[in-house]
Amino acid sequence: MNCQKVSELINSPGRITTLTTIAADGSPNTAIIGSAFMTDDSQVLIGLADNRTLQNLTANPKAVLLACRPGKTVLDWQGGRLYLELESMETEGDRFDEMVDRIRATAGRMAARSIRRLAICRISEMRPLVDLAGSI
């Protein structure tokens, strides 16, 4: 899996990105995330509102970020799955401000005002978007 291509996809507008988290009781949650930014091949920053995703990451630091760009058929889709582990959260500082500014520029003021935390996540594994039989 090409890390640079996944990074370019995650950091570009127009992609579809979801984040799957697990609550303390084990129930899953998947949310569309427009605020993910891959800093390098080991870290993803995610701007979070005060919502279920934030609650789940606080209770269970593991998550899966799926980023894709649709194609004509499923096999033409581009993307990948990043298995993440929350390292820390920030509520202020340069990285937090940069994320809020990035969200304001891409999604507008209302979206930027909703950001309460910056989740700093370590990438523990990268997998292709589609696992074909025998390729695992």
Residue 134 domain-assigned (yes or no)? no
Q: For position 136, what pLDDT does the model report?
A: 45
Q: How far is Cα 39 from Cα 7, in angstroms, rounded to an integer?
A: 8
Q: Per the structure, how many domains does the chain have?
A: 1
CATH number at residue 45: 2.30.110.10
Q: For position 1, what pLDDT does the model report?
A: 62
Question: 84 is in which domain, residue-wise?
Answer: 3-127
Closest CA to 118 of 98, 89, 97, 87: 89
Beta bridge partners of 28: 22
Residues of the chain predicted below pLDDT 50: 135-136
Q: How far is Cα 40 from Cα 4, in angstroms, rounded to an integer?
A: 9
